Structure 1
Amino acid sequence: MTPAAEARRQHYAEFYDLAEHPAGATIVVGNCQAESLRIVLQSPEFPTVRIPPVHELTAEDLPHLDRLLSDVAFVISQPIKDDYRGFPLGTRQILARMAPTARGLTIPIVRYTGLHPFQAVIRDPALPEAPPVVDYHDVRELARAAGLPLPESLGRAAVRAIGEDSLTELRRREEVIDVAISDLFVQPSFDLMRTINHPGNPVWLTLGERVLSALGSAATVNDPGRPLLSSIIAPRESWVAAAWDLDTETSPDWVITGEPVTADAVQSAQAAWYHEHPEFVARAVRRLAPTLERWRAA
């Protein structure tokens, strides 16, 4: 076993049965957002077990997951499709394998574009390689690479329309979810989202309170005293702040692992990457056609 693999096993020691997990524990199943929720739920009154994100689970991990599912008191899960990545990791499948005495609860995957209307996440099976610097795309840079330049900013009405579309989609997804969070985004602010898919602490603390309430727990949420999901903080554009009437500090630049990185540096690196991968640019532009049309019409 490599040192990195051993370090990973120690990081998830209770999951891999290298350490005893507490009685009456809870697991949170999902992507990187799941771990943030687990952190704010963790307390002596509401013990949790840290598990790998669902996209990292392998066939060798399934017995460890099933061992926990047979023993924990609560299983909290984001919506995951059946047979995810070829494994029985769908939400329905996971909850069906809980102990009869356990209780399941579903939470949303939180994604909101109203504060970063220029940003996109694109997973392309034909090109698993991520773009350089940050794993996010700027629709303006993508369009420029395709010879379809867009304006550098949007007006108030267009920003708010994008935000409303995103909020409507989040509400739609919550229709089959036990605990909702979309109401926080009726009047958005930058502390709610660090990128379009990395919520900030106010989201996790509120969602944690609602989860505990839904489970009938008297425990209180745990403020970790540090920002969660903060390894990448996207630009906070002044025109976006103006559209939402936010009196807050703005910046066109990124913050990556605590260090500022200029927007020009990111754009330059990704422009070169787009030049090397024109087939990706063509597919991305087709996929983002409605978004690009909104920008062109603004």
Structure 2
Amino acid sequence: MKTASDTGETIASPAPEVISRRRHYGAFYGLDPLPQAFGLVVGNCQAESLRIVLDGPERPTLRVPPVHEMTVEDAELLHGLVAGAEFVVAQPIRDDYRGLPLGTRQLGESARRGIPVITVPSVRFAGLHPFQVAMRVPGVDEDPPIVAYHDVRTLSVAAGLPVADRLDAEGVRRIAEASVAELRRREDSIDVPVSDLLQPVAEGLMRTVNHPGNDLFLPLAARVLDKLGGGDPTDPGRPLLAAVQAPLEAWVVDAWQLDTERRAHWIVGGEPVDPDEVRDAHREWYARHPQFVTGAAERLGDLLAVWRAA
């Protein structure tokens, strides 16, 4: 058998980021031994934070990549691990997600008979950030620079639909209620509800419109553990999903009568980022992506109507 040295071919080494990723998910890729009687938490970035607070000496869990990053190899590995898991907690994922058999139903078919497969929602709540959306528009695959979030005030100007720079308390509550109503609608087919945990509104509930904080993950984990037979969630002793934190603007704090510090700036990677810097970068990005502006304005009609009425 000829080797690479026989033929003069060069076999490329894996890129450093690939090596780092596989090391990060060591047990998933077989680089580290599997814990005994492990559980799995499957979904987007929220799933990993939920896994952290579910994990404990008596219920070890396995870190797995978020489904939106999974490859064909990853999907095969995941199904094999599901077959050996003691429990699976999953966000609702449609069949053949991104062309791979990663649907919650599909994963459940790989689980052993009698093993609990518990569904939890993917949480979005705009009560603390009623100016913010996280979305994609068909045909535009990239995210805006600095932060992958859109401020409806900046977006509406790009669309030629200027809005107010802030809402009154009624407007803030209308947007919060709309996001809770959507979450309740999706909870009809989910095992563990979460929408009631969004009241009363508190700073620690959400870092951004789609990144919950510890104040939500800990009670959600307690509910999941009740389904699994009991136990207490594990406090990680650090803020979860805190790499990007949106501004907590004064008018929002006032609307909810929160006893917390107002913050006009973003926090990205632990460093403050001026909102003007984000706004200017996003204006340039919108100018280069008019298709996104048009598509987003159409999809955000109800939200923009609240802002235009302010």
Could you say whether these structures have the same fold, taking a TM-score greater than 0.5 normalized by the shorter chain as the test?
A: yes
Task: Summarize deviations over 1:10-67 as a string: whole Å, max 9, x none.
Answer: 1111111122111211000000000000011111111000000011111111221122
- C-alpha contact 1:23 1:72 (8 A) present in aligned 2: no
* DSSP-derived class of the 1:260 partner: strand
Query: Structure 1: which 5+ residue stretches go unaligned?
Result: none
Task: Summarize deviations over 1:192-243 as a string: whole Å, max 9, x none.
Answer: 00000000011111111111111103x3211111111001000101111111
- C-alpha contact 2:140 2:291 (8 A) present in aligned 1: no
Aligned residues: 297
User: Aligned to 1:226, which of 238, 253, 271?
Assistant: 238
User: Aligned to 2:116, which of 91, 103, 113?
Assistant: 103
Alignment of 1:37 with 2:80, yes or no, is no
| Structure having the higher Rg | 2
* DSSP-derived class of the 2:88 partner: strand
Which residue matches 1:238? 250
Task: Summarize deviations over 1:99-118 as a string: whole Å, max 9, x none.
Answer: 12421111111110111110
More deviation, 267-276/191-200: 267-276
Alignment of 1:247 with 2:259, yes or no, is yes
Alignment of 1:213 with 2:216, yes or no, is no
Which residue matches 1:18? 31
- C-alpha contact 1:232 1:257 (8 A) present in aligned 2: yes
Alignment of 1:123 with 2:136, yes or no, is yes
Task: Trace 1:71-220 onto structure 2 (pairs within 5 A).
Answer: 71-217=84-230, 219-220=231-232
Per the normalisation by structure 2, the TM-score is: 0.93
Which residue matches 1:51? 64
Task: Trace 1:247-286 onto structure 2 (pairs within 5 A).
Answer: 247-286=259-298
- C-alpha contact 2:87 2:116 (8 A) present in aligned 1: yes
Aligned identity (percent) is 52
Q: Following the alignment from structure 1 to structure 2, what is the Cα–Cα distance between the partners of residues 163 and 92?
A: 31
* DSSP-derived class of the 1:191 partner: helix
* DSSP-derived class of the 2:203 partner: coil
Q: Following the alignment from structure 1 to structure 2, what is the Cα–Cα distance between the partners of residues 201 and 276?
A: 37
Which residue matches 2:10? none
How far 1:279 sits from its partner (Å)?
A: 2.3
How far 1:295 sits from its partner (Å)?
A: 0.9
Q: Following the alignment from structure 2 to structure 1, what is the Cα–Cα distance between the partners of residues 78 and 227?
A: 24
Query: Structure 2: which 5+ residue stretches go unaligned?
Result: 1-13
Q: Following the alignment from structure 1 to structure 2, what is the Cα–Cα distance between the partners of residues 62 and 259?
A: 35
- C-alpha contact 2:249 2:262 (8 A) present in aligned 1: yes
- C-alpha contact 2:37 2:86 (8 A) present in aligned 1: yes
Misfit runs of 4+, over 2 Å: none
How far 1:125 sits from its partner (Å)?
A: 3.0
- C-alpha contact 2:198 2:216 (8 A) present in aligned 1: no
User: Aligned to 2:299, which of 287, 293, 297?
Assistant: 287
- C-alpha contact 1:12 1:50 (8 A) present in aligned 2: yes
| Aligned Cα root-mean-square deviation (Å) | 1.1
Instruction: Give the letter aligned to residue 39 of structure 2.
Output: T
Per the normalisation by structure 1, the TM-score is: 0.97
Task: Summarize deviations over 1:119-149 as a string: whole Å, max 9, x none.
Answer: 0112123111110110000000011112221
Q: Following the alignment from structure 1 to structure 2, what is the Cα–Cα distance between the partners of residues 196 and 97?
A: 33
